[in-house]
Structure 1
Amino acid sequence: MITVAVTGATGAQGGATARALLAAGHRVRALTRRPHSPAADVLRDLGARVHHADFDDRTSLDVALSGADSLFAVTTPFGTDTSTETRQGKALIDAATAAHLGHIVLTTAAHADRGTAVPHYESKYLVERYLHTSDVPWTVIAPAAFMDNYGSGWTLDGLRDNTFAWPMPADRPLALIPAADIGAFAALALQRRDQFAGRRIDIASDECTPGQIAEILAAATDRPIAHREVPLAHVRARSADLAAMFEYFTTVGLDVDVAGLRRDFPEVAWHSFADWAAGQDWPAALAPAPGPR
C-alpha cells in the first residue's frame, strides 16, 4: 500500500486517478484549493483524506506532501495563463523534491515535447523539462484529446441542434482518451515505479475522425447528428491557444500507438470512443436549460 498525493483531485484527471488508486486499496491525499466542495466530499466518502493545497502557497504544499510516498501532478493554464501554469508547476516540483518523495507522475499533453507551438502544450513542456532536473524519480504521461470534452461546452450546444460542430475536417483522424483511462494509467505508473520511472509516454485509447465521432454520437444519443466543420477563424476569435491546437491536430495530428498501449497495458481496460459515448447520460446532458420563471 502506498500513500499518493493527488493534485487537481476535484478535477477530471486528478479525480480519476484518486478513484483508481482508492479502488486498488491505496491511501490517497486529495489536494485541492476547495476542500469543502461537493467533489471533495465525494472523495472523502470514497476514503480519501482531503487537504487544502494551493500552488502559490508553499506552506500548504509542504503540509500536504509531508509523509507521502508519491505525487500525481497536473497543471493547467485555463483560469489563469500559461506563464502561471509553468510557475506553479515548478513550485509543485520544488515542494515534492523538498518532501523527498519517491516518485512524481506528471500529466501533460501528447506531443508536448515535439515543438507544437501550441501555447498550453509549450507551458506544459517547460514543466516537464524542469521535472527532469529534479532529484525525484519521475514519469510523464501525456494524454491525447479528451473524450470528456465531447459532452460539454460548444460540442454539447451543437448536439442539442443535432450538429457535431468541430474545427477539423470530417476525415482527419484524432487520437482520443477519456479521463477514466488517464486515471487508470496514472495509477498503474504510480504502483509500478520501477517499470515507469524515467519514461515519457503519450497515451490514447482510440482514434476517430470527426465524421466517425458524429456517427457514434448519433447512435449514442439517438439523434441524427451531422458533422459541421467550424472555421478556425471562429475559434481564434475566442482563443488563439485553442485555435493553434486545432490547427496542429489538422495539419500534423496526434501520432499515438493505441494498439501498442492496449497490448502492453491491458490492466487499464481502455475505452473506445463508442464505449465512452454509450456510458454517458445523454438525456440529462441534452435536456434544455430551465428558462426564467
Structure 2
Amino acid sequence: MLTVAVTGATGAQGGATARALLSAGHHVRALTRYPDSLAAEVLRGLGAEVLRADFDDHTSLRAALAGTDSLFAVTTPFGTDTTAETRQGKALVDAAAAARLGHIVLTSAAHADRGTAVPHYESKYLVEQYLCAADVPWTVIAPAAFMDNYTSDWTLDGLRDNTFAWPMPADRPLTLIPATDIGAFAALALQRRDEFTGRRIDIASDECTPRWIAETLAMVTDRPIAHQEVPLAQVRTRSADLAAMFEYFTTVGLDVDVAGLRRDYPEVGWHSFADWAAGQEWPALLTPAPANQ
C-alpha cells in the first residue's frame, strides 16, 4: 500500500486521482487550502486524510509531505497568474525533493513541451523542466482539453440557450479527456513507478469535432443544440491566455495518440465523449440558478 500526497485534492484532477487511489486501497493524504470545504469532507468520508497545505507556505508543505511515499502534483494559474503558478510549482518540487519522496507525478498540459506560446502551457512547462532537473524520480502526464469544462461557465450558459458556443471551426478535431480518466491514469503511474519514471506522456480519451460535440450534446440533453463558432477576438476580450490556447487548437491542433493509449493502458477505462456526456446530470445543470430575491 502506498501513502500518496495529492495536491489540489478538492479540485477536479486532484479529486479524481484521490478517489482512484482510495479505490485501489492506498492511503491518500489529500492536500488543500480549504480543509473545511464540502469537497474535503467528501474525501474524508471516502477514507482520505485531509491536511491543509499552501504552496506559498513552506512549513505547511513540509508537514504535509512528511511520511509519504509519492506525490501527485497539480498547479494552476487560474485564480492567480502564470508567474505564481511557476513559483508555486517549483516550491512544491523543492519540498518533495527535500522530503526524499520516491516518485512525483506532475500533471501538465498536452503539447506544453512544444513551444505553444500559450501562457498557461508555458508556465506549466517551466515547472516540468524544474522537476526533471530535480533529484527525485518523476513522471509528467499531460492531459488534452477537459471534457468537464463543458458543464460550467460560459459553455454551460450557451447550452442553456441551445448553443454550443466554441472558438473553433465546426470540423476542426480536438482531443479531449475527462478528469476521471486523468485521475485513473495518474493512479496507474503512481502504482507502476518503475514503468513510468522518467517519462512524459500526453493523454486523451477521445478526439471530436465541435460539430460532433454539439450533436452528441443535443442527443443526451434532448435539446436542439447547434455549434456556433465564437470569434477569437471575443475570447481575447475575456482572456488573452485562453484566446492563445484556442488559436493553437485551431491552427496547430492538439494531437494525442488516443488509439495507442487505449491499446496500451486499457485498465484506465477510457471514456469517449459520448460516454462522458451520457453520465452528466444535464437536467440539473441546464436549469438556471434562481435569481436572488
Shorter-normalised TM range: over 0.9
2:154 is aligned with 1:154:
yes
- After superposition, the C-alpha distances for 1:163-218 in whole angstroms (9 at most, x for unaligned) are 00000000000000000000000000000000000000000000000000000000
What is the distance in 2 between the residues matched to 1:51 and 1:289?
A: 32
Instruction: Provide the secondary structure at the position in 1 that maps to 2:113.
Output: coil
Correspondences of 1:99-114 after superposition (within 5 Å): 99-114=99-114
C-alpha RMSD over aligned residues? 0.4
TM-score normalized by the length of structure 2: 1.00
- After superposition, the C-alpha distances for 1:48-77 in whole angstroms (9 at most, x for unaligned) are 000100000000000000010000000000
Correspondences of 1:110-189 after superposition (within 5 Å): 110-189=110-189
2:68 is aligned with 1:68:
yes
Report the Cα offset of residue 289 of structure 1.
1.7
Q: Tell me which amino acid in the other structure corresponds to 1:285.
A: L
What is the distance in 2 between the residues matched to 1:160 and 1:38?
A: 27
What is the distance in 2 between the residues matched to 1:205 and 1:3?
A: 28
What is the distance in 2 between the residues matched to 1:261 and 1:167?
A: 27
- After superposition, the C-alpha distances for 1:145-169 in whole angstroms (9 at most, x for unaligned) are 0000011111100011100000000
Report the Cα offset of residue 255 of structure 1.
1.1
Identity %: 84
What is the distance in 2 between the residues matched to 1:106 and 1:202?
A: 12
What is the distance in 2 between the residues matched to 1:226 and 1:33?
A: 39
What is the distance in 2 between the residues matched to 1:83 and 1:199?
A: 25
2:224 is aligned with 1:224:
yes
Give the match for residue 24 of structure 1.
24
Give the match for residue 193 of structure 2.
193
Give the match for residue 275 of structure 2.
275
Matched residues, number: 293
2:12 is aligned with 1:8:
no
What is the distance in 1 between the residues matched to 2:126 and 2:240?
A: 19
Instruction: Provide the secondary structure at the position in 2 that maps to 1:139.
Output: strand
- After superposition, the C-alpha distances for 1:2-42 in whole angstroms (9 at most, x for unaligned) are 00000000000000000000000000000000000000000
Report the Cα offset of residue 126 of structure 1.
0.1
Q: Tell me which amino acid in the other structure corresponds to 1:91.
A: A
What is the distance in 1 between the residues matched to 2:244 and 2:210?
A: 18
2:236 is aligned with 1:236:
yes
Report the Cα offset of residue 292 of structure 1.
3.4
What is the distance in 1 between the residues matched to 2:288 and 2:99?
A: 49
Instruction: Provide the secondary structure at the position in 2 that maps to 1:201.
Output: strand
What is the distance in 1 between the residues matched to 2:155 and 2:274?
A: 16
Report the Cα offset of residue 291 of structure 1.
2.3
Q: Tell me which amino acid in the other structure corresponds to 1:193.
A: R
What is the distance in 2 between the residues matched to 1:157 and 1:23?
A: 34
What is the distance in 2 between the residues matched to 1:292 and 1:78?
A: 27
What is the distance in 1 between the residues matched to 2:82 and 2:3?
A: 30
What is the distance in 2 between the residues matched to 1:260 and 1:19?
A: 25
Instruction: Provide the secondary structure at the position in 2 that maps to 1:51.
Output: strand
Give the match for residue 39 of structure 1.
39
What is the distance in 1 between the residues matched to 2:280 and 2:215?
A: 15
Instruction: Provide the secondary structure at the position in 1 that maps to 2:165.
Output: strand
What is the distance in 2 between the residues matched to 1:282 and 1:265?
A: 30
Q: Tell me which amino acid in the other structure corresponds to 1:64.
A: A
Q: Tell me which amino acid in the other structure corresponds to 2:94.
A: D
Instruction: Provide the secondary structure at the position in 2 that maps to 1:8.
Output: coil
- After superposition, the C-alpha distances for 1:111-136 in whole angstroms (9 at most, x for unaligned) are 00000000000000000000011111
Q: Tell me which amino acid in the other structure corresponds to 1:202.
A: D
Instruction: Provide the secondary structure at the position in 1 that maps to 2:123.
Output: helix
Q: Tell me which amino acid in the other structure corresponds to 1:98.
A: A
Report the Cα offset of residue 288 of structure 1.
1.9
